[in-house]
Structure 1
Amino acid sequence: MGTAILTGISGQDGSYLAEQLREDGHRVVGLLREGRTPCVVLDSVEYAEWDFMDVSALTALLSKLRPSEFYNFAAFSTGAGMYDDPVGIGELNGIAVARMLQAVLGADVTIRFCQASSSEMFGDPVTSPQDELTPFRPCSPYAAAKLFAHAVVQGYRARHGVFACSAILYNHESPRRGRAFVTRKIADAVARIRAGVDHELRLGNLDAKRDWGYAPDYVRALRLMLAHQDADDYVVATGQLHSVREFCELAFSHAGLDYRDWVRENTTDLRQDRRGPIVGDATKARRILGWRPSTDFGALVRLMVDASIASLANKGSMS
């Protein structure tokens, strides 16, 4: 089935994609930043190092490994940190992608490349829902760096004939979501409150709305993009908006609790989001790739809560 290289393999998306690829018989190589060790060692996955700076070193590595596919998930993450360290964000989220594509061009132009792009590029969108033709209006260093990478992907595709795609990913969650993200905070809080460990959850704007999907569904879309005969860019989204309040209500009720008894809106942390609705139109992905999400919002919330409850119980049994 060939070799696939993945950056960001220790993260939510990279780990799910690695598992899907291994199940289908691919050789998977996780590309780590030089001197780093994987946060989680995945079964039957190999690892290689690159400093994310030296194009010639990556070219040599690609020539040695001879991958058929290259997926890039390496990036500083979103959230409050998208405004921190703009230079570092620009390097990793933006310029490093140009180095990857230059290495592909130097090693083997038939390598198929997929960039994990972001709905943050739309910033304060001019229209909702957003599709592939909606103008980009980035509002943060994170979004600007992602837009640079997105443009580089399009440039290498058009000018050099590289099979390069961008997946414009909207919010996607799972039990592997980082603990700093609101969905994981809520799921973990439900487990701890249910167990009597915590007695309240403080959040910012409960009425903030997002287009939330399930991470394994979204990485499957990237695979479909590289399996298609033509390289292109696709919005990957559910097309549905849900509020943090709705997430809380479903999460707590799944554990037999009323969120109003436990959740407090922390006005000191309240960040007013005056942007237009960030909601995606994945019509193109459905029509051309046959992609559809398999897990709806309610099922996503329930599986995250169940995973947090099981994780807490497992920790308790080990202590």
Structure 2
Amino acid sequence: MQTFDPESPGDVPVALVTGVAGQDGMFVSRLLLQRGWRVVGTIRPGSRSVDRMRPYLAGVEVVEHDQRDVEGFAAILRRFRPRSIYNLAGFSAVQASWKAATEVMLTNSVAVVEMLEEVVRFRDEAGFAPRFVQASSAEMFGPETYGMLTEGVAHDPRTPYAVSKSAAHYAVNAYRDRHEVFGCGVIMFNHESPFRGRQFIAGRIARLAAEVAQGLPTRLTLGALDVERDWGAASDVAAALVAALDHDTPSDYVVATGESHTLRDMLRVAFAAVGRDDALDHVDLQPAMWSTIQASSLLGDSTRARERLDWHPLVDFETLVKGMVETDLRRLGTGVEESADYL
């Protein structure tokens, strides 16, 4: 664990969390604040997501920063002198990445290389280098994946999003080898929470169940029901991100539960949480929405994280989905979409 002396003036460590208004940034920030760190979080200039997440970011110093602004990043390094950087910002929609491929590459991969360059420059000037963790994605493995996926499985990305994430992941590896940057690539499999953006399918399923339970006329359109993913909790993923930078040696880590579930399973659990079993009556299928260049199944082997970081997922699939539905029921019942009481 990275240690500091709280009695020593100026020795309170600073963590820089990019993309702090996302679910991962929020959970990481709260963990670090609980440990006595000072947390500086970045948001995209003009972003409205911070307004939605503000109830959960008490204590975080929020600054606007365009991920592609290398001079701005250099200024942030010199101003705050962080000991750790959690790079969680970026374009995150897999399918939508085809509509903004250049932006995705600049934001998710080129920007990461520039950040690593600035980390090296900062080290040469300041005499120390912040530790760096990159939010990598299981989508990097590509559509032809079989069995349990480990850190050593070769990437076969087939979408702009997956390509950008793979490039950034390997960049961290390269700077770790060439420049001895303490860089970790945490390969995150699907993970959810009640605080994930509604543009993601798990959140839409939870909201569907809650709205149906309230008698609202609502429907959901899906491309497929039997897509399998290794779904975990964002709170567990955040713990792994922090643990990766606490370790004495930098490495890459798969963070996954080791269990797969389908969208059909998620629908069943979500509707069971409100005492119903008629989920499919509220779903419209449009197979054209599903892309064959996305994996039909992704399953992760987190043995390295479990053995080296003593990390273990604490939230199982059913508890996760039920918790998301229960939070949406509270939102509908109170009319308050976001509240610290929902944590």
Counterpart-to-counterpart distance in 2, 1:200 and 1:50: 37
1:189, CA displacement in angstroms? 0.8
Q: 1:188 aligned to 2:207?
A: yes
Counterpart-to-counterpart distance in 1, 2:305 and 2:210: 36
Q: 1:310 aligned to 2:330?
A: yes
SS in 2 for 1:78: coil
Q: 1:6 aligned to 2:17?
A: yes
Q: 1:61 aligned to 2:49?
A: no
Q: Which amino acid aligns with 2:314?
A: S
SS in 1 for 2:268: helix
Counterpart-to-counterpart distance in 1, 2:140 and 2:170: 11
Whether the aligned pair in 2 keeps the contact of 1:76 and 1:89 (CA below 8 Å) is: yes
Instruction: Give the structure 1 partner of residue 230 of structure 2.
Output: 211
Q: Residue 33 of structure 1: which of 35, 40, 44 is its match?
A: 44
Moved more, 200-209 or 87-96: 200-209
Q: Which amino acid aligns with 1:135?
A: A
Count matched residues: 317
TM-score (norm 1): 0.93
Q: What is the CA RMSD across the aligned residues, in angstroms?
A: 2.0
Q: Which amino acid aligns with 2:106?
A: E
* Deviation by residue 1:53-79 (Cα, 9 ceiling, x = unmatched): 443442232122111100011111134
1:253, CA displacement in angstroms? 1.1
Question: Structure 2 vs 1, CA of residues 276 and 301 (structure 1 numbering), >3 Å: closer, same or farther?
Answer: closer
Moved more, 203-212 or 149-158: 203-212
Instruction: Give the structure 2 partner of residue 103 of structure 1.
Output: 118
Instruction: Give the structure 2 partner of residue 278 of structure 1.
Output: 298
Question: Structure 2 vs 1, CA of residues 126 and 304 (structure 1 numbering), >3 Å: closer, same or farther?
Answer: closer
Structure 2, unmatched stretches of 5+, are: 1-11, 338-343
Moved more, 34-43 or 120-129: 34-43
1:134, CA displacement in angstroms? 0.6
Counterpart-to-counterpart distance in 2, 1:152 and 1:244: 33
Instruction: Give the structure 1 partner of residue 314 of structure 2.
Output: 294
* Deviation by residue 1:204-231 (Cα, 9 ceiling, x = unmatched): 2111111100001001101000000000
Instruction: Give the structure 2 partner of residue 142 of structure 1.
Output: 161
Identity %: 38
Q: 1:248 aligned to 2:263?
A: no
* Deviation by residue 1:257-292 (Cα, 9 ceiling, x = unmatched): 113463334235542547353111101110111110
TM-score (norm 2): 0.87
SS in 2 for 1:106: helix
1:19, CA displacement in angstroms? 1.2
SS in 2 for 1:235: strand
Counterpart-to-counterpart distance in 1, 2:113 and 2:280: 50
Q: Which amino acid aligns with 1:144?
A: V
Q: How does 1:217-236 map to 2 (within 5 A)?
A: 217-236=236-255
